[in-house]
């Protein structure tokens, strides 16, 4: 399973394929399969995907995902809570049911370097298929890249965002029963991050729309809202150790043998998650933003 690139943050997966693929491969005619493995570029995200894949070496038949997902929150949080089972059922059908054939790479606006000419970003269908304040836009409604400009990569959206918001509401409504669980708090922070990030993408498109129509009031109001979202996300992420910048920097510096190395290693750690040594005007690094992170301490400034 190649699931993640650059250890970026996106709640994403194809659980149905994970639950059946290894079994189908082993039982296929003339199969030469010898084992099950994982080759992610980064881990420490999407625990449910790695939980299931880690089991697949030991299963002799396809996993009944309806049962598996229903019991997952009990295993993960240590207590059976019907509301959280309902929430995970929704997440299985949305975030963890990506069937558009695209590998996921997080390109949310908040974690992208702002270096795109606004008129390159097209905004047709901005209000299409919208429920409440959250859009469930098809991919083609996000942006169309100019052939001469590869700088803007459209965010990947494959699920009903309104349904995911409802799952988050269930987390908030029933979470008190397992609030002492670190794994629950991690999932709550991650799901809230996911919802706010997609909402921010929509605000961004409305800012571009206002810019193109010279609507200064719309641009000013929505820019303030967008920047407030960045600050809100930074504060949210600070509430769980799994979303902090500090451990990344300190672990890098901890490998140094002297002060000079410490400076170099910290610089390496900082540039990898931002510009990836993109310091020229003529040949920008294609890896800038590649390892973007939703980490408190990184978003705000």
> Which whole number is the average pLDDT over 43-68?
94
Domains of the chain: 15-127+157-243 (1.20.120.670), 244-300 (no CATH)
Report how far residue 148's alpha carbon sits from residue 123's, in angstroms, rounded to the nearest whole number: 18
pLDDT at 281: 67
What are residue 167's phi and psi, to 5 degrees?
-60, -40
Nearest Cα residue to 208 out of 139, 144, 165: 144
User: Measured in whole angstroms, how far is the alpha carbon of residue 91 from the centre of its chain?
Assistant: 13
Residue 146: pLDDT band with limits 50, 70, 90: very low
pLDDT at 117: 81
Are 195 and 115 in contact by the 8 Å Cβ rule? The answer is no
User: What percent of the chain has a predicted confidence (pLDDT) above 90?
Assistant: 69
Flag whether pLDDT at 135 surpasses 90.
no
Confidence of residue 107 (pLDDT cuts 50, 70, 90): confident
Is pLDDT of 189 > 70? yes
Over range 79-95, report the average pLDDT. Answer: 97
pLDDT classification of 133: cutoffs 50, 70, 90: very low
pLDDT of residue 78: 97
**Closest alpha carbon to 145 in 126, 124, 121:** 121
Does the pLDDT of residue 230 top 50, yes or no? yes
Average pLDDT over residues 147-159: 66
- Per the model's pLDDT, the better-predicted residue between 210 and 118 turns out to be 210
Q: Give the C-alpha separation, 243 to 203, whole Å.
A: 24
Average pLDDT, the chain: 87
8 Å CB contact between 120 and 146? yes
Average pLDDT over residues 246-270: 97
How is residue 223 written in tokens?
A: 């820019």
> Using CA atoms, how far apart are residues 210 and 218, in angstroms rounded to an integer?
6
Query: How confident is the model at residue 278, as a pLDDT?
Result: 65
Q: What percent of the chain has pLDDT over 70?
A: 88
Would you call 151 helix, strand, or coil by DSSP? coil
Q: What's the pLDDT band for 280 if we cut at 50, 70, 90? A: low
């Amino acid at each position: 399973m190649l699931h993640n690139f650059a250890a970026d943050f996106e709640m994403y997966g194809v659980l149905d394929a994970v639950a059946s693929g290894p079994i189908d491969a082993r039982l296929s005619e003339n199969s030469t399969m010898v084992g099950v493995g994982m080759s992610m570029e980064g881990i420490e995200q999407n625990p449910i995907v790695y939980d299931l894949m880690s089991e697949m070496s030991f299963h002799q038949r396809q996993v009944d995902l309806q049962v598996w997902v229903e019991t997952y929150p009990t295993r993960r949080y240590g207590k059976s809570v019907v509301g959280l089972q309902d929430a995970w059922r929704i997440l299985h059908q949305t975030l963890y049911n990506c069937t558009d054939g695209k590998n996921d790479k997080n390109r949310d606006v908040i974690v992208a370097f702002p270096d795109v000419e606004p008129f390159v970003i097209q905004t047709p269908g901005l209000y299409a298929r919208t429920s409440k304040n959250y859009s469930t836009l098809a991919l083609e409604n996000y942006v169309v890249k100019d052939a001469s400009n590869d700088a803007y990569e459209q965010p990947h959206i494959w699920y009903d965002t309104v349904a995911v918001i409802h799952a988050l509401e269930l987390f908030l409504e029933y979470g008190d029963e397992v609030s002492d669980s670190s794994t629950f708090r991690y999932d709550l922070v991650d799901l809230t991050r996911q919802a706010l990030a997609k909402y921010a993408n929509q605000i961004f498109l409305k800012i571009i729309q206002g810019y193109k129509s010279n609507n200064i009031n719309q641009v000013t109001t929505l820019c303030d809202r967008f920047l407030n979202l960045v600050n809100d996300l930074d504060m949210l992420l600070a509430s769980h150790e799994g979303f902090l910048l500090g451990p990344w920097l300190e672990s890098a510096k901890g490998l140094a043998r002297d002060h000079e190395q410490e400076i170099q290693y910290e610089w390496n750690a900082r540039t990898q998650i931002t510009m990836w040594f993109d310091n020229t005007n003529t040949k920008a690094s294609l890896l800038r933003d590649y390892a973007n992170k939703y980490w408190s301490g990184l978003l705000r400034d």
